[in-house]
Amino acid sequence: MNNAPQKLTMNPARLLSSDPAVVKVALELYDSIKDLPIISPHGHTDPSWFAENSNFENAADLLIRPDHYVFRMLYSQGYSLEELGIPQHGEKGDLAASRNVDPEGIWQTFAENYYLFAGTPSGYWLDSTFANVFGFEDKLCADNASEYYQEINRQLVSERFKPRALMDEFNIELIATTEGALDQLPHHQKLTGTDFEKRVITSFRPDDVVDASREDFKQNVATLAELTGENTNDWQGYLNAIRKRRLYFVEHGRATATDHGHPTALTENLSVGECQTLLDKCLKGSASPVEHELFRGQLLTELAGMSIEDGLVMQIHPGAHRNHNQGVFDKFGRDKGADIPSQTEYVNALKPLLAKFGNDPKLSIILFTLDETTYSRELAPLAGHYPSLKLGPAWWFHDSPAGMLRYRQQVTETAGFYNTVGFNDDTRAFLSIPARHDVARRVDCRYLGELVANHQITMQDAKTLAYELTYGLVKKAYKLD
């Protein structure tokens, strides 16, 4: 294989179609919105980056370790997570500390295998980062790996590459991190009184205290009791404890949204007695997998009721078989690239919740999916009817040019544009944020350009929609105005 350097070219009309008539319109639309501020309402960047505002350690620590899109590809080709410097379960510290792994050696492995990312969203995001952020003119490969590594490290020590400075350079108006229900939010509290207090906010992710299938569920519920002073062995006390944590996230992390990563979209509406019985079994460790699912489903309904009370926007993104690789999970813990999409049903699953709360104008639910076969059959009709529902963007495995285009094609005719919520990047890799938002903006302009070229909407309509899809809808959906 020829792994010599080739030019790193970023065509101005990239992703805007191969049809000249569409490209002409799409370029005009893109020029009208390309410089709008970035709103990143859902993601997994580390809040300590912004609180401490320290420089990143090195190229490998910045671009490989946080990004499971990157290391899962290398793992799929036979590279162990140990040799990629991924910390094992419970380990802390920088990339190389735990096992004496040389970060430049990790980078060399990455560069030698960079060809693997051709045609993938990660390849596009990385090329864009290398060209637009670091100024490289040749594509990364084995021959220039050391040059890349040294130059990135040289730039990383500058004031320009402190996280808060990058927020300004990337024109990020707001970024939301995601923390578990038991998190005390020390990093968000440290931002209080700074210019970034309202620019870096949190989202409430209660999976750690509502998913009874987790190995740490019983201990987490006990900790929940300690933090709130509630009797979490009692159903009402348990719910009150969750309410208190939601309020804590609003007051100490300026949260506007919650986040729920359940295996399915199942919801339930059980009696208080049935709920207490389920809670008892889950805390005793005697609940079956079916009962774990019932418990999660009941909690989604309860949490929807809490959103009506406190106004937090509810994000539901089901359909992932989490930690599919048991060996990797046992050794390295969660979120190591082994979450696999699964078939997901919404119409019947959401009916108990929607029957109880779906017509309440105070409820705002954003639905995501990893099963894109449900876009036109289930999700678009649901969002096109219920005032409480909006559709989240193409997410995760469909967070790609083709996936975004399919999303617009399959949902727009039924749900329209205004029952969607713009774009979120859902990333742990900070430097990918501008690249990912740029992809979304280009694909949306391509889709709008096709509608204009086909005489389905006017150019004036398209420019209004381009603004809304880029900036307006996300601020409204996440209550950021």
- pLDDT at res. 68: 84
Q: Where are the domains of the chain?
A: 20-55+160-477, 56-159
Tokens of 46: 């580390």
- Is the predicted pLDDT of residue 97 greater than 50, yes or no? no
- pLDDT at res. 386: 98
Amino acid letter for position 12: P
Q: What is the fold, at CATH topology level, of the domain defined by 56-159?
A: uronate isomerase, domain 2, chain A (1.10.2020)
Amino acid letter for position 85: G
The phi and psi torsions of 391 (rounded to 5 degrees) equal: -95, 125
> What is the SS3 assignment for 341?
strand
Tens digits of residue pLDDT in 209-224 = 999 999 999 999 999 9
Class of domain 20-55+160-477: alpha beta
Residue 37: CB atoms within 10 Å: 13
Contacts of 388 (CB under 8 A, 6+ apart): 354, 357, 358, 359, 360, 361, 363, 364, 365
Tokens of 115: 């060809």
363 pLDDT tier (thresholds 50, 70, 90): very high
> What is the SS3 assignment for 321?
strand
- pLDDT at res. 103: 93
Single out the residue of 416, 415, 405, 413 nearest to residue 440, CA to CA: 405
- Name residue, tokens 């994000």: 315
- Is the predicted pLDDT of residue 339 greater than 90, yes or no? no
- Is the predicted pLDDT of residue 193 greater than 90, yes or no? yes
Mean per-residue pLDDT, 416-439? 96
> What is the SS3 assignment for 419?
coil
> What is the SS3 assignment for 147?
helix
CB burial readout 281-316, b (16+ within 10 A) else e: bbbeeebeeebbbbbbbbbbbbbbebbbeeebbbbb
Least confident of 3-12, 39-48, 130-139: 3-12
Say if residues 391 and 383 touch (Cβ distance below 8 Å): yes
Mean per-residue pLDDT, 87-114? 76
Mean per-residue pLDDT, 355-375? 97
Distance of alpha carbon 66 from alpha carbon 63, whole angstroms: 7
1 pLDDT tier (thresholds 50, 70, 90): low
> 54-58 long-range CB contacts below 8 Å, 24 or more apart?
54/162, 54/163, 55/156, 55/157, 55/158, 55/161, 55/162, 56/156, 56/161, 57/94, 57/95, 57/103, 57/156, 58/95, 58/103, 58/104, 58/107, 58/149, 58/152, 58/153, 58/156
Distance of alpha carbon 366 from alpha carbon 389, whole angstroms: 6
- Single pTM value for the model: 0.94
- Name residue, tokens 């949902």: 411
Say if residues 136 and 130 touch (Cβ distance below 8 Å): yes
Amino acid letter for position 289: P
Q: Where are the alpha helices (DSSP H) in 217-325?
A: 217-228, 235-253, 272-284, 289-310
**Average confidence score pLDDT of the chain:** 94
> Exposed (0-12), middle (13-18) or buried (19+): which is 442, by Cβ within 10 Å?
buried
Single out the residue of 320, 338, 318, 319 nearest to residue 328, CA to CA: 338
- Is the predicted pLDDT of residue 93 greater than 60, yes or no? no
Contacts of 52 (CB under 8 A, 6+ apart): 187, 190
Tens digits of residue pLDDT in 277-306 = 999 999 999 999 999 999 999 999 999 999
Mean per-residue pLDDT, 57-68? 89
